[in-house]
Amino acid sequence: MKDRIRRLLAASTVTLLVAAISVSAGSATRGVSAGGILRVGWEQAFGFTDNFDPTGEYLGDAIGIYSSLLTRTLVGYEHAPGAAGNKLIPDLATSVPTPTNGGTTYTFHLKQGVKFSPPVNRAVTSKDILYALERIAKPKDGAEYAFYYTVIKGFEAYSKGKAKTIAGIKTPNASTIVFNLTAPTGDFLYRLSMPATGPIPVEVAKCFEGQAGKYGRDLVSTGPYMIAGMDKVSDSSCAALKPASGFDGQTVLDLVRNPNYDPKTDSKTAREAYADEIKFTVDASADDIFNKIEAGQLDMANSTIPPQVLRKYATDPSLKPWFHQNSGDRTWYITLNLTQPPFDDIHVRRAMNWIADKAGLVQAWGGPTYGAVANHIVPDTLFNNQLADYKPYGTAGDHGSLDKAKAAMKGSKYDTNGDGTCSAPQCKNVVLLADARAVDAKLVPVLEADAKKIGITFTVRTINGAYPTIQTPSKGIPISERPGWGKDYADALTFFEPLFDGRTIIPQGNTDYSLVGITPAQCAADGVKGDCTNVPSVNSQLDKCAALSGQPRLTCYENLDKYLMTNVVPWVPYLWSYVTRITSKNVTHYQFDQFATTPAYANIAVK
Protein backbone atom coordinates (compact mmCIF):
# COMPACT_ATOMS: atom_id res chain seq x y z
CA MET A 1 0.00 0.00 0.00
CA LYS A 2 2.84 2.33 0.89
CA ASP A 3 4.48 1.81 -2.50
CA ARG A 4 1.20 2.33 -4.35
CA ILE A 5 0.59 5.67 -2.63
CA ARG A 6 4.15 6.75 -3.32
CA ARG A 7 3.70 5.99 -7.01
CA LEU A 8 0.46 7.94 -6.99
CA LEU A 9 1.94 11.04 -5.41
CA ALA A 10 5.27 10.68 -7.22
CA ALA A 11 8.18 13.05 -6.93
CA SER A 12 6.06 16.19 -6.91
CA THR A 13 4.62 15.26 -3.52
CA VAL A 14 8.06 14.79 -2.02
CA THR A 15 9.07 18.23 -3.23
CA LEU A 16 5.88 19.71 -1.86
CA LEU A 17 6.36 18.10 1.55
CA VAL A 18 9.86 19.54 1.86
CA ALA A 19 8.49 22.92 0.95
CA ALA A 20 5.65 22.52 3.44
CA ILE A 21 8.07 21.87 6.27
CA SER A 22 9.91 25.03 5.30
CA VAL A 23 6.70 27.05 5.22
CA SER A 24 5.65 25.86 8.67
CA ALA A 25 9.01 26.82 10.14
CA GLY A 26 8.97 30.44 9.06
CA SER A 27 6.82 33.49 9.55
CA ALA A 28 4.04 34.17 7.11
CA THR A 29 3.94 37.58 5.46
CA ARG A 30 0.22 37.85 4.82
CA GLY A 31 -0.74 40.84 6.96
CA VAL A 32 -0.14 39.47 10.46
CA SER A 33 -2.07 41.38 13.12
CA ALA A 34 -3.62 40.74 16.52
CA GLY A 35 -7.31 40.07 17.10
CA GLY A 36 -10.00 37.72 15.93
CA ILE A 37 -11.06 34.24 17.04
CA LEU A 38 -8.93 31.17 16.33
CA ARG A 39 -11.37 28.24 15.94
CA VAL A 40 -10.02 24.71 16.37
CA GLY A 41 -12.03 21.55 15.64
CA TRP A 42 -11.31 18.57 17.89
CA GLU A 43 -12.34 15.12 16.71
CA GLN A 44 -14.56 12.84 18.83
CA ALA A 45 -13.51 13.87 22.36
CA PHE A 46 -10.85 15.91 24.11
CA GLY A 47 -9.52 12.67 25.60
CA PHE A 48 -7.53 14.47 28.28
CA THR A 49 -5.93 11.90 30.58
CA ASP A 50 -6.79 13.77 33.78
CA ASN A 51 -9.70 15.96 32.68
CA PHE A 52 -7.30 18.83 31.92
CA ASP A 53 -5.84 18.96 35.44
CA PRO A 54 -2.19 19.93 34.75
CA THR A 55 -0.98 17.80 37.65
CA GLY A 56 -2.13 14.62 35.98
CA GLU A 57 -2.23 15.51 32.29
CA TYR A 58 0.40 14.02 29.98
CA LEU A 59 -0.98 14.19 26.42
CA GLY A 60 1.00 16.48 24.13
CA ASP A 61 -2.24 17.99 22.83
CA ALA A 62 -3.06 19.31 26.29
CA ILE A 63 0.54 20.24 27.09
CA GLY A 64 0.64 22.40 23.97
CA ILE A 65 -2.41 24.32 25.20
CA TYR A 66 -1.02 24.72 28.71
CA SER A 67 2.49 25.75 27.73
CA SER A 68 1.58 28.17 24.98
CA LEU A 69 -1.57 29.70 26.46
CA LEU A 70 -2.30 29.02 30.12
CA THR A 71 0.51 27.76 32.32
CA ARG A 72 3.89 29.40 32.73
CA THR A 73 6.78 27.51 34.32
CA LEU A 74 10.15 28.47 35.79
CA VAL A 75 11.82 27.73 32.47
CA GLY A 76 10.13 27.25 29.12
CA TYR A 77 10.57 27.50 25.36
CA GLU A 78 10.20 29.89 22.46
CA HIS A 79 7.42 27.62 21.14
CA ALA A 80 9.22 27.51 17.82
CA PRO A 81 9.89 24.63 15.38
CA GLY A 82 13.11 22.65 15.12
CA ALA A 83 16.19 23.00 17.29
CA ALA A 84 15.21 26.50 18.42
CA GLY A 85 12.06 25.04 19.93
CA ASN A 86 14.05 22.70 22.18
CA LYS A 87 16.20 25.41 23.75
CA LEU A 88 15.29 26.37 27.31
CA ILE A 89 14.63 30.02 28.12
CA PRO A 90 13.57 31.78 31.34
CA ASP A 91 9.80 31.98 31.80
CA LEU A 92 8.75 32.72 35.36
CA ALA A 93 12.41 32.76 36.41
CA THR A 94 14.67 35.74 35.77
CA SER A 95 17.30 33.43 34.24
CA VAL A 96 18.14 29.80 33.55
CA PRO A 97 20.38 28.93 36.50
CA THR A 98 23.62 26.99 36.51
CA PRO A 99 23.50 24.27 39.18
CA THR A 100 25.76 24.54 42.20
CA ASN A 101 26.84 22.15 44.95
CA GLY A 102 28.24 19.62 42.51
CA GLY A 103 25.25 19.83 40.22
CA THR A 104 22.64 19.13 42.90
CA THR A 105 21.31 22.60 43.77
CA TYR A 106 19.20 24.86 41.53
CA THR A 107 18.21 28.35 42.68
CA PHE A 108 15.53 30.33 40.87
CA HIS A 109 14.47 33.93 41.30
CA LEU A 110 10.97 34.83 40.09
CA LYS A 111 10.12 37.77 37.88
CA GLN A 112 8.04 40.53 39.38
CA GLY A 113 4.61 41.35 37.92
CA VAL A 114 3.37 37.81 37.15
CA LYS A 115 -0.18 37.36 38.44
CA PHE A 116 -2.83 34.67 38.47
CA SER A 117 -5.93 35.19 36.36
CA PRO A 118 -9.33 35.71 37.94
CA PRO A 119 -10.69 34.70 40.34
CA VAL A 120 -7.39 34.66 42.30
CA ASN A 121 -5.98 37.99 41.03
CA ARG A 122 -2.76 38.02 43.03
CA ALA A 123 0.96 37.78 42.40
CA VAL A 124 2.54 34.38 41.83
CA THR A 125 4.94 33.39 44.61
CA SER A 126 7.51 30.67 45.16
CA LYS A 127 5.05 28.83 47.40
CA ASP A 128 2.66 28.42 44.46
CA ILE A 129 5.36 26.46 42.66
CA LEU A 130 6.11 24.47 45.81
CA TYR A 131 2.41 23.65 46.07
CA ALA A 132 2.40 22.36 42.48
CA LEU A 133 5.28 20.01 43.34
CA GLU A 134 3.45 18.87 46.46
CA ARG A 135 0.43 17.99 44.31
CA ILE A 136 2.69 16.01 42.00
CA ALA A 137 4.04 14.10 44.99
CA LYS A 138 0.60 13.10 46.31
CA PRO A 139 -0.55 9.91 44.53
CA LYS A 140 -4.24 10.72 44.97
CA ASP A 141 -3.84 13.94 42.98
CA GLY A 142 -3.19 11.82 39.88
CA ALA A 143 0.26 12.99 38.73
CA GLU A 144 1.56 11.24 35.61
CA TYR A 145 5.14 12.48 35.86
CA ALA A 146 5.91 12.11 39.57
CA PHE A 147 8.88 9.86 38.83
CA TYR A 148 10.69 12.77 37.19
CA TYR A 149 10.84 14.56 40.54
CA THR A 150 11.83 11.76 42.92
CA VAL A 151 15.40 13.02 42.54
CA ILE A 152 14.41 15.98 44.77
CA LYS A 153 15.48 15.32 48.35
CA GLY A 154 12.56 14.25 50.50
CA PHE A 155 10.12 13.98 47.59
CA GLU A 156 9.43 10.29 48.10
CA ALA A 157 9.17 10.64 51.88
CA TYR A 158 6.52 13.32 51.41
CA SER A 159 4.78 11.21 48.74
CA LYS A 160 4.53 8.27 51.14
CA GLY A 161 3.25 10.39 54.00
CA LYS A 162 6.45 10.00 56.00
CA ALA A 163 7.23 13.73 55.99
CA LYS A 164 5.10 16.85 56.17
CA THR A 165 7.26 18.82 53.74
CA ILE A 166 9.51 18.12 50.74
CA ALA A 167 12.91 18.63 52.37
CA GLY A 168 14.66 19.41 49.10
CA ILE A 169 12.50 22.41 48.17
CA LYS A 170 13.04 25.69 50.02
CA THR A 171 11.22 28.99 49.58
CA PRO A 172 13.31 31.53 51.58
CA ASN A 173 11.13 34.37 50.28
CA ALA A 174 8.22 34.97 47.91
CA SER A 175 10.45 35.33 44.86
CA THR A 176 13.04 32.58 45.48
CA ILE A 177 12.78 28.79 45.25
CA VAL A 178 15.66 26.36 45.73
CA PHE A 179 15.77 22.70 44.71
CA ASN A 180 18.26 20.29 46.32
CA LEU A 181 18.67 16.96 44.57
CA THR A 182 19.92 13.60 45.74
CA ALA A 183 22.30 13.35 42.78
CA PRO A 184 23.34 15.40 39.74
CA THR A 185 20.56 15.24 37.17
CA GLY A 186 21.52 16.66 33.81
CA ASP A 187 17.95 17.04 32.52
CA PHE A 188 16.43 18.52 35.69
CA LEU A 189 15.79 21.91 34.06
CA TYR A 190 13.86 20.17 31.30
CA ARG A 191 11.75 18.44 33.94
CA LEU A 192 10.85 21.82 35.41
CA SER A 193 9.53 22.93 32.02
CA MET A 194 6.64 20.47 32.26
CA PRO A 195 3.27 22.19 32.87
CA ALA A 196 2.59 20.13 36.00
CA THR A 197 5.29 22.21 37.75
CA GLY A 198 3.62 25.53 36.91
CA PRO A 199 2.27 27.54 39.87
CA ILE A 200 -1.10 26.50 41.27
CA PRO A 201 -3.03 28.66 43.77
CA VAL A 202 -3.84 26.71 46.91
CA GLU A 203 -7.00 28.73 47.56
CA VAL A 204 -8.65 27.07 44.54
CA ALA A 205 -6.86 23.73 44.18
CA LYS A 206 -7.26 22.85 47.87
CA CYS A 207 -10.93 22.23 47.06
CA PHE A 208 -9.85 19.20 45.01
CA GLU A 209 -7.22 17.62 47.28
CA GLY A 210 -7.11 13.89 46.68
CA GLN A 211 -9.57 14.11 43.79
CA ALA A 212 -7.56 13.40 40.65
CA GLY A 213 -8.82 15.18 37.57
CA LYS A 214 -11.14 17.63 39.31
CA TYR A 215 -9.10 20.85 39.10
CA GLY A 216 -9.05 21.06 35.30
CA ARG A 217 -12.34 22.90 34.85
CA ASP A 218 -11.23 25.45 37.47
CA LEU A 219 -7.66 25.89 36.21
CA VAL A 220 -6.30 29.32 37.15
CA SER A 221 -4.06 30.73 34.46
CA THR A 222 -0.70 32.51 34.53
CA GLY A 223 -0.44 32.77 30.75
CA PRO A 224 -1.91 35.21 28.22
CA TYR A 225 -5.27 33.41 28.13
CA MET A 226 -7.73 31.94 30.64
CA ILE A 227 -10.85 29.80 30.50
CA ALA A 228 -13.78 32.00 29.50
CA GLY A 229 -15.97 32.87 32.47
CA MET A 230 -13.22 32.69 35.10
CA ASP A 231 -13.90 36.34 35.88
CA LYS A 232 -17.38 35.29 37.02
CA VAL A 233 -16.12 32.52 39.33
CA SER A 234 -15.98 33.02 43.10
CA ASP A 235 -13.13 31.55 45.13
CA SER A 236 -14.51 32.79 48.45
CA SER A 237 -15.05 29.19 49.54
CA CYS A 238 -15.01 25.68 48.11
CA ALA A 239 -18.80 25.63 48.26
CA ALA A 240 -18.98 28.81 46.18
CA LEU A 241 -16.51 27.55 43.57
CA LYS A 242 -18.22 26.56 40.33
CA PRO A 243 -16.60 25.61 36.99
CA ALA A 244 -16.15 28.42 34.52
CA SER A 245 -18.61 28.52 31.63
CA GLY A 246 -15.88 28.25 28.98
CA PHE A 247 -15.02 24.59 29.58
CA ASP A 248 -17.67 21.91 29.93
CA GLY A 249 -15.14 19.08 29.90
CA GLN A 250 -16.83 17.44 26.93
CA THR A 251 -17.48 19.63 23.90
CA VAL A 252 -16.03 23.14 24.28
CA LEU A 253 -12.86 24.71 25.65
CA ASP A 254 -13.11 28.46 25.15
CA LEU A 255 -10.09 30.61 26.04
CA VAL A 256 -10.08 34.40 26.24
CA ARG A 257 -7.45 36.96 27.19
CA ASN A 258 -6.25 36.93 30.79
CA PRO A 259 -6.67 40.53 32.04
CA ASN A 260 -3.86 40.02 34.59
CA TYR A 261 -1.25 38.94 32.05
CA ASP A 262 1.62 41.39 31.61
CA PRO A 263 3.49 40.75 28.33
CA LYS A 264 6.48 42.64 29.72
CA THR A 265 7.14 39.66 32.00
CA ASP A 266 7.24 37.27 29.05
CA SER A 267 9.15 36.61 25.85
CA LYS A 268 7.14 38.15 23.02
CA THR A 269 8.57 35.67 20.54
CA ALA A 270 7.43 32.81 22.78
CA ARG A 271 3.88 34.10 23.22
CA GLU A 272 2.76 36.67 20.68
CA ALA A 273 -0.84 36.20 21.87
CA TYR A 274 -2.27 37.21 18.50
CA ALA A 275 -5.88 35.99 18.77
CA ASP A 276 -8.41 37.59 21.12
CA GLU A 277 -10.06 34.23 21.67
CA ILE A 278 -9.17 30.59 21.00
CA LYS A 279 -12.06 28.18 20.86
CA PHE A 280 -11.65 24.38 20.76
CA THR A 281 -14.85 22.54 19.77
CA VAL A 282 -15.45 18.79 19.66
CA ASP A 283 -16.95 17.39 16.45
CA ALA A 284 -17.61 13.69 15.94
CA SER A 285 -16.81 13.81 12.22
CA ALA A 286 -13.34 14.44 10.84
CA ASP A 287 -14.89 14.97 7.40
CA ASP A 288 -17.15 17.65 8.82
CA ILE A 289 -14.22 19.36 10.56
CA PHE A 290 -12.19 19.64 7.37
CA ASN A 291 -15.17 20.73 5.33
CA LYS A 292 -15.57 23.56 7.83
CA ILE A 293 -11.87 24.43 7.58
CA GLU A 294 -12.15 24.67 3.80
CA ALA A 295 -15.28 26.83 4.21
CA GLY A 296 -13.54 29.08 6.75
CA GLN A 297 -15.87 28.11 9.61
CA LEU A 298 -12.95 26.51 11.48
CA ASP A 299 -9.29 27.50 11.21
CA MET A 300 -7.46 24.27 12.08
CA ALA A 301 -8.02 20.88 13.68
CA ASN A 302 -6.82 18.42 16.25
CA SER A 303 -8.06 15.49 14.24
CA THR A 304 -7.20 12.59 12.03
CA ILE A 305 -6.95 14.04 8.53
CA PRO A 306 -9.09 12.03 6.10
CA PRO A 307 -6.88 10.48 3.40
CA GLN A 308 -8.63 12.30 0.57
CA VAL A 309 -8.12 15.64 2.33
CA LEU A 310 -4.47 14.91 3.05
CA ARG A 311 -3.89 13.88 -0.55
CA LYS A 312 -5.60 17.03 -1.83
CA TYR A 313 -3.51 19.43 0.24
CA ALA A 314 -0.28 17.50 -0.32
CA THR A 315 -0.58 17.53 -4.10
CA ASP A 316 -2.26 20.84 -4.95
CA PRO A 317 0.36 23.63 -5.12
CA SER A 318 -2.33 26.27 -4.67
CA LEU A 319 -3.07 24.87 -1.18
CA LYS A 320 0.59 24.83 -0.12
CA PRO A 321 0.33 27.93 2.17
CA TRP A 322 -2.23 26.13 4.33
CA PHE A 323 -0.46 22.76 4.57
CA HIS A 324 2.03 22.50 7.46
CA GLN A 325 4.15 19.48 8.29
CA ASN A 326 6.77 19.02 11.01
CA SER A 327 8.63 16.22 12.75
CA GLY A 328 6.37 14.79 15.43
CA ASP A 329 8.93 12.95 17.60
CA ARG A 330 6.12 10.47 18.27
CA THR A 331 5.76 6.70 18.00
CA TRP A 332 2.39 5.00 17.49
CA TYR A 333 2.29 1.38 18.60
CA ILE A 334 0.24 -1.68 19.50
CA THR A 335 0.69 -2.28 23.22
CA LEU A 336 0.90 -5.88 24.46
CA ASN A 337 0.24 -6.61 28.15
CA LEU A 338 2.98 -8.87 29.53
CA THR A 339 0.68 -10.25 32.25
CA GLN A 340 -2.27 -11.22 30.04
CA PRO A 341 -2.54 -14.34 27.82
CA PRO A 342 -1.51 -14.95 25.18
CA PHE A 343 0.84 -11.95 25.30
CA ASP A 344 2.45 -13.12 28.52
CA ASP A 345 4.52 -15.30 26.15
CA ILE A 346 7.40 -13.57 24.37
CA HIS A 347 7.09 -15.91 21.38
CA VAL A 348 3.57 -14.61 20.75
CA ARG A 349 4.76 -11.04 21.09
CA ARG A 350 7.56 -11.63 18.59
CA ALA A 351 5.12 -13.31 16.23
CA MET A 352 2.85 -10.26 16.40
CA ASN A 353 5.77 -8.06 15.35
CA TRP A 354 6.58 -10.32 12.41
CA ILE A 355 2.98 -10.62 11.16
CA ALA A 356 2.09 -6.93 11.47
CA ASP A 357 1.33 -5.24 8.16
CA LYS A 358 2.92 -1.96 9.19
CA ALA A 359 2.43 -0.47 5.75
CA GLY A 360 -1.27 -1.25 6.07
CA LEU A 361 -1.43 0.35 9.51
CA VAL A 362 0.30 3.47 8.19
CA GLN A 363 -2.14 3.51 5.29
CA ALA A 364 -5.01 3.43 7.79
CA TRP A 365 -3.73 6.77 9.10
CA GLY A 366 -3.54 8.21 5.60
CA GLY A 367 -0.43 6.76 4.02
CA PRO A 368 3.24 7.83 3.91
CA THR A 369 2.27 11.48 3.81
CA TYR A 370 1.16 11.00 7.41
CA GLY A 371 4.41 9.44 8.66
CA ALA A 372 7.09 6.77 8.25
CA VAL A 373 7.05 3.12 9.32
CA ALA A 374 8.44 2.76 12.84
CA ASN A 375 10.97 -0.02 13.28
CA HIS A 376 11.78 0.36 16.96
CA ILE A 377 10.71 2.37 20.01
CA VAL A 378 12.30 5.82 20.02
CA PRO A 379 12.07 8.02 16.89
CA ASP A 380 15.34 8.14 15.00
CA THR A 381 15.58 11.91 15.42
CA LEU A 382 16.19 11.54 19.17
CA PHE A 383 19.10 9.19 18.40
CA ASN A 384 20.61 11.53 15.80
CA ASN A 385 19.57 8.89 13.22
CA GLN A 386 22.17 6.45 14.56
CA LEU A 387 19.56 3.64 14.52
CA ALA A 388 18.15 4.57 11.13
CA ASP A 389 19.10 1.15 9.71
CA TYR A 390 17.95 -0.87 12.71
CA LYS A 391 14.93 -2.96 11.67
CA PRO A 392 14.64 -6.06 13.90
CA TYR A 393 11.33 -7.08 12.31
CA GLY A 394 11.82 -5.66 8.84
CA THR A 395 9.89 -7.36 6.04
CA ALA A 396 9.43 -6.85 2.32
CA GLY A 397 7.37 -3.73 1.74
CA ASP A 398 6.71 -3.57 5.50
CA HIS A 399 3.73 -5.90 4.98
CA GLY A 400 4.78 -8.54 7.52
CA SER A 401 5.92 -12.14 7.05
CA LEU A 402 3.74 -15.15 7.81
CA ASP A 403 6.70 -17.55 7.61
CA LYS A 404 8.75 -15.59 10.17
CA ALA A 405 5.72 -15.10 12.41
CA LYS A 406 5.05 -18.85 12.44
CA ALA A 407 8.70 -19.58 13.14
CA ALA A 408 8.56 -17.23 16.13
CA MET A 409 5.27 -18.75 17.37
CA LYS A 410 6.62 -22.32 17.37
CA GLY A 411 8.38 -21.70 20.65
CA SER A 412 5.16 -20.70 22.39
CA LYS A 413 3.24 -22.70 24.99
CA TYR A 414 0.12 -21.50 23.20
CA ASP A 415 1.12 -23.30 19.97
CA THR A 416 -0.43 -26.58 21.07
CA ASN A 417 -0.28 -28.13 17.59
CA GLY A 418 3.33 -27.23 16.86
CA ASP A 419 2.34 -25.64 13.55
CA GLY A 420 3.30 -22.03 14.24
CA THR A 421 -0.18 -20.84 15.13
CA CYS A 422 -1.68 -19.76 18.45
CA SER A 423 -4.12 -22.64 18.95
CA ALA A 424 -4.79 -22.71 22.70
CA PRO A 425 -8.15 -21.42 24.01
CA GLN A 426 -6.38 -18.31 25.35
CA CYS A 427 -5.79 -17.25 21.73
CA LYS A 428 -9.48 -16.86 20.95
CA ASN A 429 -11.65 -13.81 21.59
CA VAL A 430 -8.83 -11.84 23.17
CA VAL A 431 -10.08 -8.40 24.24
CA LEU A 432 -8.77 -5.69 21.95
CA LEU A 433 -9.45 -2.18 23.24
CA ALA A 434 -10.02 0.47 20.57
CA ASP A 435 -10.91 4.13 20.63
CA ALA A 436 -13.77 5.71 18.67
CA ARG A 437 -11.75 7.98 16.39
CA ALA A 438 -12.11 7.60 12.64
CA VAL A 439 -8.60 6.15 12.37
CA ASP A 440 -9.35 3.42 14.93
CA ALA A 441 -12.10 2.01 12.75
CA LYS A 442 -9.48 1.59 10.01
CA LEU A 443 -6.68 0.27 12.21
CA VAL A 444 -8.69 -2.49 13.87
CA PRO A 445 -9.51 -4.51 10.70
CA VAL A 446 -5.84 -4.51 9.68
CA LEU A 447 -4.81 -5.78 13.10
CA GLU A 448 -7.58 -8.39 13.17
CA ALA A 449 -6.60 -9.75 9.76
CA ASP A 450 -2.93 -9.94 10.74
CA ALA A 451 -3.55 -11.72 14.06
CA LYS A 452 -5.97 -14.21 12.49
CA LYS A 453 -3.17 -15.48 10.25
CA ILE A 454 -1.38 -16.78 13.34
CA GLY A 455 -4.49 -18.05 15.12
CA ILE A 456 -5.39 -15.08 17.32
CA THR A 457 -8.92 -13.68 17.22
CA PHE A 458 -10.23 -10.61 19.03
CA THR A 459 -13.30 -9.34 20.79
CA VAL A 460 -13.17 -5.64 20.03
CA ARG A 461 -14.27 -3.24 22.75
CA THR A 462 -14.60 0.36 21.59
CA ILE A 463 -14.53 3.26 24.05
CA ASN A 464 -14.80 6.95 23.22
CA GLY A 465 -11.60 8.10 24.94
CA ALA A 466 -9.82 4.80 25.66
CA TYR A 467 -6.75 6.06 27.50
CA PRO A 468 -8.13 6.01 31.07
CA THR A 469 -9.05 2.33 30.67
CA ILE A 470 -5.65 1.38 29.28
CA GLN A 471 -4.04 3.33 32.11
CA THR A 472 -5.77 1.26 34.80
CA PRO A 473 -3.74 -1.95 35.26
CA SER A 474 -6.55 -3.74 37.09
CA LYS A 475 -8.63 -3.62 33.89
CA GLY A 476 -6.31 -6.26 32.44
CA ILE A 477 -6.46 -5.03 28.84
CA PRO A 478 -4.41 -7.58 26.81
CA ILE A 479 -3.90 -5.45 23.69
CA SER A 480 -4.79 -2.00 22.38
CA GLU A 481 -4.19 -0.09 19.18
CA ARG A 482 -4.80 3.32 20.81
CA PRO A 483 -1.40 4.30 22.25
CA GLY A 484 1.06 6.77 20.89
CA TRP A 485 3.89 8.44 22.75
CA GLY A 486 5.75 11.66 22.11
CA LYS A 487 8.78 12.99 23.90
CA ASP A 488 8.28 15.13 26.98
CA TYR A 489 11.46 16.92 26.01
CA ALA A 490 14.38 16.18 23.69
CA ASP A 491 15.89 13.22 25.55
CA ALA A 492 15.29 9.49 25.14
CA LEU A 493 14.72 9.18 28.89
CA THR A 494 11.28 10.67 28.32
CA PHE A 495 10.34 7.59 26.32
CA PHE A 496 11.96 4.91 28.43
CA GLU A 497 11.20 5.86 32.03
CA PRO A 498 7.45 6.60 31.71
CA LEU A 499 6.85 3.59 29.48
CA PHE A 500 9.09 0.85 30.90
CA ASP A 501 10.15 1.64 34.46
CA GLY A 502 8.29 -0.87 36.63
CA ARG A 503 8.73 1.37 39.65
CA THR A 504 6.44 3.98 38.07
CA ILE A 505 3.41 1.68 37.70
CA ILE A 506 0.42 3.15 39.51
CA PRO A 507 -3.23 2.02 39.92
CA GLN A 508 -4.64 4.83 37.79
CA GLY A 509 -3.01 7.02 35.17
CA ASN A 510 -0.35 4.39 34.54
CA THR A 511 1.71 4.86 31.36
CA ASP A 512 3.64 1.57 31.42
CA TYR A 513 0.73 -0.04 29.59
CA SER A 514 2.63 -3.27 28.93
CA LEU A 515 3.46 -3.54 32.66
CA VAL A 516 7.15 -4.08 31.98
CA GLY A 517 8.90 -4.62 35.32
CA ILE A 518 5.77 -5.21 37.42
CA THR A 519 6.29 -7.45 40.43
CA PRO A 520 3.89 -9.90 42.09
CA ALA A 521 3.58 -7.49 45.02
CA GLN A 522 2.63 -4.65 42.68
CA CYS A 523 0.10 -6.86 40.93
CA ALA A 524 -1.51 -7.68 44.26
CA ALA A 525 -1.55 -4.03 45.34
CA ASP A 526 -2.96 -2.76 42.03
CA GLY A 527 -5.50 -5.54 41.52
CA VAL A 528 -3.83 -7.02 38.44
CA LYS A 529 -5.11 -10.49 37.57
CA GLY A 530 -2.72 -12.38 35.34
CA ASP A 531 0.71 -13.97 35.22
CA CYS A 532 2.84 -11.61 37.32
CA THR A 533 5.75 -13.98 37.84
CA ASN A 534 9.01 -13.33 36.02
CA VAL A 535 7.79 -10.30 34.10
CA PRO A 536 10.97 -8.86 32.53
CA SER A 537 12.40 -5.66 34.00
CA VAL A 538 14.74 -3.03 32.58
CA ASN A 539 15.02 -0.94 35.74
CA SER A 540 18.76 -1.51 36.11
CA GLN A 541 19.42 -0.50 32.49
CA LEU A 542 17.34 2.63 32.99
CA ASP A 543 19.37 3.63 36.04
CA LYS A 544 22.62 3.08 34.18
CA CYS A 545 21.59 5.24 31.20
CA ALA A 546 20.14 8.06 33.32
CA ALA A 547 23.48 8.59 35.07
CA LEU A 548 25.34 9.18 31.78
CA SER A 549 25.67 12.20 29.52
CA GLY A 550 26.76 12.95 25.97
CA GLN A 551 27.40 10.13 23.50
CA PRO A 552 27.67 7.42 26.21
CA ARG A 553 24.13 8.32 27.28
CA LEU A 554 22.91 8.15 23.70
CA THR A 555 24.59 4.78 23.10
CA CYS A 556 23.17 3.39 26.33
CA TYR A 557 19.63 4.31 25.30
CA GLU A 558 20.16 2.93 21.80
CA ASN A 559 21.19 -0.42 23.30
CA LEU A 560 18.18 -0.33 25.58
CA ASP A 561 15.89 0.22 22.58
CA LYS A 562 17.41 -2.86 20.93
CA TYR A 563 17.08 -4.94 24.10
CA LEU A 564 13.42 -4.05 24.52
CA MET A 565 12.63 -4.88 20.91
CA THR A 566 14.28 -8.32 21.02
CA ASN A 567 14.39 -9.50 24.66
CA VAL A 568 11.21 -7.93 26.11
CA VAL A 569 9.01 -7.09 23.09
CA PRO A 570 6.30 -5.00 24.81
CA TRP A 571 5.04 -3.36 21.62
CA VAL A 572 4.45 -3.56 17.93
CA PRO A 573 5.69 -0.08 16.90
CA TYR A 574 4.41 0.84 13.46
CA LEU A 575 4.35 4.61 12.82
CA TRP A 576 6.62 7.60 13.38
CA SER A 577 4.15 10.32 12.63
CA TYR A 578 4.57 13.76 11.22
CA VAL A 579 2.61 16.58 12.77
CA THR A 580 0.44 17.80 9.92
CA ARG A 581 -1.91 20.71 10.26
CA ILE A 582 -4.21 22.10 7.61
CA THR A 583 -5.35 25.66 8.23
CA SER A 584 -8.08 27.78 6.76
CA LYS A 585 -7.42 30.80 4.58
CA ASN A 586 -8.31 32.92 7.60
CA VAL A 587 -4.93 32.02 9.17
CA THR A 588 -2.35 34.70 8.38
CA HIS A 589 0.49 33.24 10.45
CA TYR A 590 1.16 29.65 11.52
CA GLN A 591 3.88 28.43 13.87
CA PHE A 592 4.82 25.00 15.20
CA ASP A 593 5.89 24.27 18.79
CA GLN A 594 8.63 21.63 18.83
CA PHE A 595 8.44 21.21 22.62
CA ALA A 596 4.83 19.99 22.66
CA THR A 597 4.83 19.02 18.95
CA THR A 598 1.57 20.92 18.57
CA PRO A 599 0.66 24.23 16.98
CA ALA A 600 2.11 27.17 18.91
CA TYR A 601 -1.40 28.50 19.50
CA ALA A 602 -0.35 31.86 20.96
CA ASN A 603 1.68 32.54 17.81
CA ILE A 604 -1.07 31.80 15.30
CA ALA A 605 -2.82 34.80 13.79
CA VAL A 606 -6.15 34.99 12.01
CA LYS A 607 -7.94 37.64 10.00
Q: Where are the domains of the chain?
A: 37-280+593-606, 327-578
Buried/exposed code over 68-104 (b: 16+ C-beta within 10 A; e: otherwise): bbbbbbbbbbbbbbeeebbebbbbbbeebbebeeeeb
If we measure between CA atoms, which residue out of 206, 215, 202 comes closest to residue 238? 206
The residues near 392 (Cβ < 8 Å, ≥ 6 apart) are 353, 375, 376, 562, 565, 566
Whole-number pLDDT of residue 490: 82
* CB within 8 Å of 29: residues ≥ 6 apart: none
Q: Domain 37-280+593-606 is of which CATH architecture?
A: 3-Layer(aba) Sandwich (3.40)
CATH classification of 327-578 is 2.120.10.30, yes or no? no
Query: In this predicted model, what pLDDT tens digit does every residue of 450-477 receive, in sequence order?
Result: 999 999 999 999 999 999 999 999 999 9
The whole-number pLDDT of residue 213 equals 78
Cα–Cα distance, 325 to 337 (Å, whole number): 33
pLDDT at 444: 98
- pLDDT in the model for residue 31: 64
pLDDT of residue 23: 34
Spell out, as residue ranges, where the chain has pLDDT lower than 70. Answer: 1-31
Q: Exposure string (b/e) for 215-233, b if CB count within 10 Å is 16 or more? A: bbbbbbbbbbbbbbbbbeb
Rounded Cα distance, 488 and 124, in Å? 25
Give the model's pLDDT for residue 547.
Answer: 78
pLDDT at 331: 97
What pTM does this model have? 0.74
